[in-house]
Structure 1
Amino acid sequence: MTATTPAPFSPQEIAAEGIKPEEYAEIVRRLGRHPNKAELGMFGVMWSEHCCYKNSRPLLKQFPTTGPRILVGPGENAGVVDLGEGLQLAFKIESHNHPSAVEPFQGAATGVGGILRDIFTMGARPIALLNSLRFGSLEDPRTQRLFSGVVAGISHYGNCVGVPTVGGEVYFDPAYSGNPLVNVMALGLMETPEIVKSGASGIGNPVLYVGSTTGRDGMGGASFASAELSDESMDDRPAVQVGDPFLEKSLIEACLEAFKTGAVVAAQDMGAAGITCSTAEMAAKGGVGIELDLDKIPVRELGMIPYEYLLSESQERMLFVAHKGREQELIDIFHRWGLQAVVAGTVISEPIVRILFEGGVAAEIPADALAENTPLYERELLAEPPEYARKAWEWSPNALPTCISEGIEIQGNRQSWHDILLTLLDTPTIASKNWVYRQYDHQVQNNTVILPGGADAAVVRLRPLEGQGGINHPLSGVAATVDCNPRYVYLDPYEGAKAVVAEAARNLSCVGAEPLAVTDNLNFGSPEKPIGYWQLSEACRGLAEGCRELATPVTGGNVSLYNETLDSQGNPQPIYPTPVVGMVGLIPDLSKICGQGWQTPGDVIYLLGSSPSNLGASEYLATIHSTVAGRPAKVDFDLERRVQKVCREGIRSGWVNSAHDCAEGGVAIAIAECCLAGKLGAQIYLEATQSQRLDELLFGEGGTRIIVSVASAQQENWESYLQTHLGTEWQKLGTVGNIGTDLAVLTTDNQTLIQVSIEEMNDRYQNAIARRLMM
């Protein structure tokens, strides 16, 4: 017990820690007394949504989490999959949304540092980073500041630590004006003989604190991440950590060296909630206790009290359990890398977290109460979809002006399809993200096979382990992607979430990779509001079904709720529900991959899949008609599996020279992107049904559709293969043109819809973001 019996806290003090009155009553019941200040802070961070998932945990149980390649699933620092040939891949995605809204550079930078620690804590060397970003309108000066700061923070940390940022996505929408999303995914290749887990064991084993010193930065970051943003959030800068990528590089090398000694029993990153989280989780997972002496902790500031030690989220810190008698061996390794390393505690038999300070007990709490047996809220789901969704679903294309081959009338002015194509290519969400990825060192480590912007997924070389490889052993690779169309999920969370999984798998298939597994980042508004919980619940249902249908189990991830800000009238404004899916895939032979750009003049262009396109929820509807309505197309998983398999087999057989899925902007934008990536034009013929609108034909979205190009010499073999495996669910669209030729899109009865030069498209597409930042 603590030295003195603490007095009750006031409602204001309890609320300041993010604790509800009924939760405080439960804390008192469990402890048999009132907590002291340090203990209240520990419960505040560990019972926050960010740490214990008290609103989302019941929904996450429906995710498939096992499979033949799954070695480590949810519950550890990262998931691990078996790639074969002795290779094992660790991967995970995390968010740093609220810190990035307050301090974009450090918020994003420390997000990168945190996800890297999740990877190398498992014993894996980080090999790649991807990011999924959301911002408000890029015409808004505040958005420009946030966007520039976040990109600079990601670039700074990743470049300095020496891990390539190889892919990602960026969306811009007013829904994110006050609350940007910064999700970062990392991949790592296992280097240790055994996967390092986090559960403590071995009564009497020493507990080591290693890495950087502890300061007051990042105080209460987990609680801060679990509350809505407000005008006062700018005063929460102490809740944003400050990172040191050069120190993290040393920490990577020291940890991997330490793990290889076999002297480490368990390891845990000090991420959200710092010392509190690492001690509680290690103890609870191992069914033991941990006693830790704060007087042993290396500090960078004087006069710190237990509350500050325990809630600090200073970066680049780890907690180890070592085999007794081998602690000095580990300490010597960390000192050799210029890092702190001290024995700060012991594994004890009583399943508690006991914190010592200045000769007394500063805190004593059952480990299970902090890390496992935490609050759980089973919320009631709306009996029917909310009014905003029902109203949106009533929309139909009949509400739009009539189209003709020359274009469509918008606000009294006739716009040609040529002009609309250029407008969409100039839209920041669709346009090239070269302004972003040119700031990243995407070739460090020399394993990046396809550069950012060159394909639908990133591809990284997997170097053989010692003793493997050789002339007759092709190099393999891993492909990775992060995906989410948030407008789809907003308008129909269930169907939209299924579409997220399908698109992620499709992007992997477009480079020739077999989809393996998923890590997800659930970014939503408040679950305490009926609409917010409906969106979260329906999206989780859709994700679970999509992952089961495509045999891509979920190995872990992150939940980020309360992504809301106040509008000008003081009303809460939630973001679009944004369940980002990070998916990894295996490429058995790196010589059998392809990108999205046309390769050779004369190649024949095909559309795989015959799912009807849809103007509802489309970028065309939002950008050209300023309307967010309708609903995304339903996913046909049987067709999805067949189309993706045909695409992968076509690539591996050497038939397919390029592949690109149809996403935002539909077929017309997908074809234009293939032209821009390959710097070659194309002659395209589109066949519209009698009832199909021309804008739907050109810019409709959804469905299972992939654009591929095939050498003319392989046309007969390819079409025979398509006939066997897809039946009638494919179309021949046209041919690739020469350098300097235009993109011409015609109907099958020779009506020209679009005639545009590569140069004109390139200017709009490549410079869209830079142009807005210079305004």
Structure 2
Amino acid sequence: MTKHYLDDEELALLESRLKRKPSEFEEAIIFSLWSEHCSYKSSKIHLKKLPTKSERVVIGPGENAGVIDIGDNFVAIFKMESHNHPSYIDPYNGAATGVGGILRDVFTMGARPVLNMDALFFGLLDHPKTPYLLDGVVRGVGDYGNCVGVPTASGQTLFLDCYNNNILVNAFTLGIAKKDKIFLGIAKTIGADVIYVGSKTGRDGIHGATMASSSFDEESIKNRPTVQIGDPFTEKLLIEACLEVMDKNLIEGIQDMGAAGLTSSAFEMAQKGGVGVELRLDNVPLRESLTPLEIMLSESQERMLIIAPPKNSQEILSIFKKWSLDANIIGKVIKEQKVILRFKNQIIGEFDLDIIESPMYERKYSKPRYLDNINTQINLPEPHNYNKVLLDLLSKPNLADKSSIFEQYDSTVQTNTLKGPEGDACAIIVKQTNTAIFASVCVNPIYCYLDPFVGSQLAVLENYRNIIASGGDPVAITDCLNFGNPQNPEIMWQFVKSIEGIKYACESLNTPVVSGNVSLYNETITENIFPTPTIAMVGIGKQEDVLKSQFQFANNTIVLLNDIELNLGASQYLYYMYNKIDGMVPKAKIKQHLALKNFFDIAHKQHRLIVSAKDISMGGISACLAFMCNNIGCELKINMPLLKYEFLFSESQANIIIEIKNQDFDMVESIAYESGINVYRLGFTTDEKRLKINDLIDVSIDDIKDAKSKAFKKILS
């Protein structure tokens, strides 16, 4: 009796295309290709709305990663992907192979990976599973990146109860390549060899793509065998071998074996080139005895598929052998637009490429009912002790010092890092060109839960602020769109509004979306995560443009750019002090962000007036100043409104705190005025290691550091 993988509707569609019932083998192959993870069948019609072009974009969405021109005939190639379900089932291996997979997406296009980032979302720290998951994920990210030798130089880690049973692990990689040495995952030439390279194929990861495309239940949580096992040392060898055959122009196309393994790579390369492939599965290097279906669907790591002219095949095989990697010719490119699978001299599967095209769904969507209960006004009593409130807030996981996490990552390997995880955006030098690459990753899920449209704009805008406050020019983004069950109309509404928000912000800022990933069905036993459209932004600049995020010298002037919007809605203050997620999210203020960039272009890049800078985000201006007071104190006299706590803890957008020399204030004020920005002299940096704000706050830097270090001391010690 045939086992059914597809639901009734999709099985009927396949039968109508085949004009017969599929075999169990055929249905299982199509099941993987039509999975949400591989086909984007619920999201593709909305993703087409996103802006994807600019004068710097070389290759946009549709390839393994996006490509931007960074000048001097070099390009930056980057992408972000999720490995959420695997990391919950097996946190160490799930996170490690998430890093390995995104590395392959980048070097398969001819780029040497030079930068990793991560965005991690966990449940509450006191949830019984969180310490185990946090420890495993952090070790997995660190071990894989450290062993491969790629710096993890920036990231984000947040904690909310919506992730108690469905954590998110989003991994980003950026690589550098020559503009004329970009390789695509395509098969074009009839008669070309199909070459398997990398590790041997095993049973790990089978049906991983379909597992990642469904909601969790008690049974799937136990489903550890679908999680891949990574080997970063093999990945390092694979990077070097692939870059060598690319440098020698020996190959026509190359594709990593990611979700759905050999199935997706073979089918995708044939489809893109308008050709077919014939594979001999007996020739696939194996770790153990496998059935043909297991060979096709295995997601064993560190494997690639290469298309090459037959005259180059032996040299390719010898190069991979030199690097101690398996390599074997497993098929040919054929004229017929189909994939033919042979095993033991028999055809065991034959797929016309027009048949395997997945269905596309325009899911129904409707505004979530919970939004009807959101309060537009948040009225809170004034705190009795501002010192205590600030230190309490800084001790909470979302605002705490994350060094116990990022110190497990090597952020300086390759010696390119100009600014590491101690700041909001990181920066690396491209030694061949002296260009600096800036990168930032973040999202605030509370904003996106309360207003997906504005919250998604704010995710783009915070990255934008991070990059300009670090000295860079924002260029483009990649995204990782993490949402719940798309068959729930309220979840689909969140997704659609989020896309519209990203579109609006990216068009306004001229920062197109060049690559990305959609992760749906982040739902465990009907509990969906908050909408989490993680945004990673990349910018460019010069080495001398890089700005620190913390005060550098005593006796300098501290300046606030733009007015503070008084609003405690959606804030960390409201969440941690009152256990509420409520209120209106901060206004996006896109025009003021463009004004900020113009200000930095003149004040910093032309006149070098800015010593350090940091944007205001979670926790408001008080948390921002506490972060900037690392070894230098400050004393501020601010003309505050009556509701002082609103001024101190509102998460106002389009605000950056800058440190300047005292004698430069008049010039800074003049440039700000010309840029359309209001500026306020708040006070001065001091030798006294204290944060003083009016007569409200007076805490030592040691107290700040102690408060910020409490959250993770026990878990990650």
Give the shorter-chain TM-score range: over 0.9
Q: Does 1:495 align with 2:445?
A: no
| Structure 2 match to 1:742 | 690
State the distance in 2 between where 1:512 and 1:581 align: 19
Question: What is the Cα deviation at residue 184 of structure 1?
Answer: 0.4
Deviations along 1:662-688, whole A, 9 cap, x unmatched? 010001100111012xx1111122333
State the distance in 2 between where 1:670 and 1:199 align: 48
Residue 681 of structure 1, aligned match among 621, 628, 633: 633
Q: Does 1:49 align with 2:1?
A: no
> CA 1:326 to 1:207, structure 2 compared with 1: closer, same or farther past 3 Å?
same
Q: How does 1:255-654 map to 2 (within 5 A)?
A: 255-302=242-289, 304-370=290-356, 373-382=357-366, 385-392=367-374, 394-398=375-379, 400-401=380-381, 403=382, 408=383, 415-453=384-422, 455-464=423-432, 475-566=434-525, 572-587=526-541, 589-652=542-605, 653-654=607-608
State the distance in 2 between where 1:86 and 1:522 align: 31
State the distance in 2 between where 1:241 and 1:38 align: 22
State the distance in 2 between where 1:460 and 1:592 align: 12
> CA 1:648 to 1:507, structure 2 compared with 1: closer, same or farther past 3 Å?
farther
Q: Does 1:253 align with 2:240?
A: yes
Amino acid at match of 1:359: N
Query: Retained in 2: the 8 A contact 1:139–1:772?
Result: no
Deviations along 1:676-702, whole A, 9 cap, x unmatched? 2xx111112233335xx2221110013
Question: What is the Cα deviation at residue 166 of structure 1?
Answer: 0.5
Question: What is the Cα deviation at residue 451 of structure 1?
Answer: 2.4
State the distance in 1 between where 2:148 and 2:216 align: 30
Say which SS state the counterpart of residue 555 (structure 2) adopts. coil
Deviations along 1:383-419, whole A, 9 cap, x unmatched? xx32211211x24123x22x2xxxx2xxxxxx41111
Query: Retained in 2: the 8 A contact 1:36–1:363?
Result: no
State the distance in 2 between where 1:424 and 1:325 align: 65
Question: What is the Cα deviation at residue 191 of structure 1?
Answer: 4.6
Query: Retained in 2: the 8 A contact 1:37–1:307?
Result: no
State the distance in 2 between where 1:389 and 1:702 align: 22
Amino acid at match of 1:82: D
Query: Retained in 1: the 8 A contact 2:365–2:491?
Result: no
Question: What is the Cα deviation at residue 715 of structure 1?
Answer: 2.0
Question: What is the Cα deviation at residue 460 of structure 1?
Answer: 0.6
Query: Retained in 1: the 8 A contact 2:115–2:150?
Result: yes
Question: What is the Cα deviation at residue 742 of structure 1?
Answer: 1.4
Query: Retained in 2: the 8 A contact 1:110–1:241?
Result: yes
Identity of aligned residues (%): 41
Give the TM-score normalised by the residue count of structure 2.
Answer: 0.98
Residue 664 of structure 1, aligned match among 618, 623, 636: 618
Query: Retained in 2: the 8 A contact 1:49–1:226?
Result: yes
Amino acid at match of 2:652: G
State the distance in 2 between where 1:685 and 1:524 align: 44
Q: Does 1:715 align with 2:665?
A: yes
| Structure 2 match to 1:216 | 203
State the distance in 1 between where 2:534 and 2:705 align: 29
Aligned residues: 716
Query: Retained in 2: the 8 A contact 1:522–1:560?
Result: yes
Deviations along 1:270-302, whole A, 9 cap, x unmatched? 000001000110001111111111000000002
Deviations along 1:33-71, whole A, 9 cap, x unmatched? 222222211111110110101111011011000110001
Aligned-CA RMSD value: 1.3
Question: What is the Cα deviation at residue 237 of structure 1?
Answer: 1.1
> CA 1:134 to 1:378, structure 2 compared with 1: closer, same or farther past 3 Å?
same
Query: Retained in 1: the 8 A contact 2:69–2:179?
Result: no
Question: What is the Cα deviation at residue 614 of structure 1?
Answer: 1.9
State the distance in 2 between where 1:593 and 1:145 align: 37
Say which SS state the counterpart of residue 686 (structure 1) adopts. coil
Say which SS state the counterpart of residue 54 (structure 2) adopts. coil
Question: What is the Cα deviation at residue 718 of structure 1?
Answer: 1.6
Deviations along 1:288-332, whole A, 9 cap, x unmatched? 111111000000002x11110111000000001102321111111
Query: Retained in 2: the 8 A contact 1:218–1:312?
Result: yes
State the distance in 2 between where 1:494 and 1:48 align: 27
Unaligned runs of 5+ in 1: 1-6, 409-414, 466-474, 567-571, 747-751
Query: Retained in 1: the 8 A contact 2:73–2:179?
Result: no
Query: Retained in 2: the 8 A contact 1:681–1:736?
Result: yes
Deviations along 1:231-289, whole A, 9 cap, x unmatched? 11233111100011000000000000001121211110000000100011000111111
Say which SS state the counterpart of residue 673 (structure 2) adopts. helix
Pick which of 456-465 and 557-566 moved more: 456-465
Question: What is the Cα deviation at residue 476 of structure 1?
Answer: 1.9
Amino acid at match of 1:629: D
Residue 730 of structure 1, aligned match among 674, 679, 693: 679
Say which SS state the counterpart of residue 531 (structure 1) adopts. helix
Question: What is the Cα deviation at residue 769 of structure 1?
Answer: 1.4
State the distance in 2 between where 1:341 and 1:491 align: 51
Residue 652 of structure 2, aligned match among 695, 702, 717: 702
Query: Retained in 1: the 8 A contact 2:118–2:170?
Result: yes
Query: Retained in 2: the 8 A contact 1:283–1:290?
Result: yes
Query: Retained in 2: the 8 A contact 1:243–1:315?
Result: yes
| Structure 2 match to 1:99 | 86
Unaligned runs of 5+ in 2: none
| Structure 2 match to 1:470 | none
State the distance in 1 between where 2:354 and 2:253 align: 18
State the distance in 1 between where 2:278 and 2:419 align: 49
Question: What is the Cα deviation at residue 611 of structure 1?
Answer: 5.0
State the distance in 2 between where 1:56 and 1:447 align: 37
Say which SS state the counterpart of residue 216 (structure 2) adopts. coil
> CA 1:638 to 1:348, structure 2 compared with 1: closer, same or farther past 3 Å?
same
Question: What is the Cα deviation at residue 631 of structure 1?
Answer: 2.2
State the distance in 2 between where 1:381 and 1:228 align: 19
Amino acid at match of 2:143: H
State the distance in 2 between where 1:687 and 1:57 align: 50
